[in-house]
Amino acid sequence: MSSLFQRHCDRDLVGYLDGELSERSRLKVERHLDSCGQCRAELEELQNSLAECARYRDVLVAQAPQAPQPWRDLYRDFSRIDESLANTSLLVRLMRPLVHSGVPRWAFVAGLAALIVLFSLNQLRQAPSVQAAALLRKAVAVSQSQPRPAHRIRVRSSRQPEFTRLAGAQAALVEVAQAQAVAALFQEAHWDWNDPLSAHAFEQWRDAQVHKTDEVAAVQDPQAPSEHFTRIRTVSAEGEVEAASITLETGDYVPVSERLEFRDREWVELSEIAEPSMESAGTSGVAPVDVPARAAEPPSRPAAFSPGSSASISDELQVLSALSAIEADLGDPVDVSLIGGKVVVTGEEGIPPRRQNEIRASVANLPHVEVEFSPSHPAAVPSQTAVAAGAAGSATVSPMEARLEQHLGGHAEFDRFSTQLLDLDDAAMQRVYALRRLAQKFSPDDEAQLGSPDLNLLRELSRKHTAKLSEKVGSMERILVPTLSSLGGTVSIHPASGHAAWQPAAEDVYRSAHRVDVLISQMLGVTPANASSSALPSDLMAALEELRVNLDDCRKALR
Amino acid sequence: MAIFRQPQSGQELQDQVAQLYIETREDVYRYLLTLGVHPPKAQEAVQEVFLRLYTSLKKGEKIESLRGWVFRVAHNYGLKVRARQSVEEKFDPAFETHLASPAVSAERDLLDREKMTRLNSAVESLSEQQKRVLFLRMEGLRYPQIASTLGISASAVGEFLRRALLRLRKVRDE
Confirm if A536 and A529 have CB atoms less than 8 A apart: yes
A440/A459 same-domain check: yes
CB B28 within 8 A of CB B46: yes
> By C-alpha distance, which of A130, A132, A185, A128 is closest to A155?
A185
Of residues B161 and A86, the one with the higher pLDDT is B161
The rounded distance, in Å, linking the Cα atoms of A373 and A508 is: 32
Same domain, B79 and B141: no
Q: Which of A291, A325, A358 is the last residue of a domain?
A: A291
How large is the greatest C-alpha to C-alpha distance in chain B, in angstroms?
A: 57
Asked if residue A306 and residue A284 are part of one domain, the reply reads no
Q: Is residue A78 part of a domain?
A: no
B85 and B103 co-located in one domain: no
Taking an 8 Å cut-off on Cβ atoms, the answer to whether A395 and B73 are in contact is yes
Q: In whole angstroms, how far apart are CA A466 and each of A328, A480, A540, B99?
A: 17, 20, 21, 37
- Within B35-153, where are the H helices? 39-58, 66-84, 95-100, 102-107, 110-124, 128-138, 143-150
- In angstroms, the CA B41 to CA B36 distance is 10
**Residue A268 · residue A260 · CB < 8 Å:** yes
Number of domain units in chain A: 4
pLDDT score recorded for residue A378 = 36
3-class DSSP state of A47:
helix
How far is A307 from chain B, CA to nearest CA, in Å? 37
Q: Answer yes or no: are the C-beta atoms of A81 and B58 closer than 8 Å.
A: yes
Q: How far is A394 from chain B (nearest CA, A)?
A: 9
Chain A contact set for B77 (CB, 8 A)? 395
pLDDT at A2: 39
The continuous run of DSSP H or E covering A530 comes out as none
Asked if the structure places residue B37 within a domain, the reply is yes
User: Is the same domain home to A280 and A220?
Assistant: yes
Taking alpha carbons only, the member of A325, A390, A49, A312 closest to residue B137 is: A49
Which residue on chain A is closest to B96 by alpha carbon?
Answer: A354
Nearest to residue B147, comparing CAs of A169, A410, A266, A384? A410
At A445-504, the pLDDT tens digits run 888 888 888 888 999 999 999 999 999 999 999 888 888 888 888 877 778 877 888 999
Looking at A171-175, A349-353, A435-439, B132-136, which range is the least confident one? A171-175
User: Smallest Cα–Cα separation from B74: which of B45, B43, B51?
Assistant: B45
Domain limits at A361? Answer: 293-376
pLDDT score of A74: 87
- The packing angle between helices B10-34 and B66-84, to 10°, is 50
The total domain count for chain B is 2
Residue A223 identity (one-letter amino acid): Q
Residue A226: inside a domain: yes
User: Does residue B78 sit in the same domain as residue B102?
Assistant: no
Q: Which range is least confidently modeled, A116-125, A231-240, A280-289, B47-56? A: A280-289
Evaluate whether residue A423 is within a structural domain: yes
Tell whether A402 and A435 lie within a shared domain: yes
Kindly report the nearest CA distance between residue B5 and chain A, in angstroms.
Answer: 19
Q: Distance between CA atoms of A389 and A533, rounded to whole angstroms? A: 17
CATH number at residue B161: 1.10.10.10
Residue B58 sits in which domain range? 9-90
Residue A223 lies in a domain: yes
Strand intervals (E) in A33-167: 151-157, 163-167
Backbone angles phi, psi at A192, to 5 degrees: -55, 115
Q: A9, A14, A77, A327: best mutation site toward chain B, by most B Cβ within 10 Å?
A: A14
Mutant choice from A78, A329, A408, A418 vs B, greatest count of B C-beta within 10 A = A78
Angle between helices A199-208 and A105-145 (to 10 degrees): 130
CATH number for A140: 2.50.20
A477 and A368 in a single domain? The answer is no
Report the distance separating Cα A446 and Cα A453, nearest Å: 14
- pLDDT tens profile A194-225: 888 999 899 888 888 878 888 888 777 766 66
Main-chain phi, psi angles of B25, to 5 degrees: -60, -40
Q: Which residues of A touch B99 (CB under 8 A)?
A: 59, 63
Question: From CA B13, how far away is CA B23, in angstroms rounded?
Answer: 15
Say yes or no to pLDDT of A394 above 50: no
Residue B94 binned pLDDT confidence (cut-offs 50, 70, 90):
low
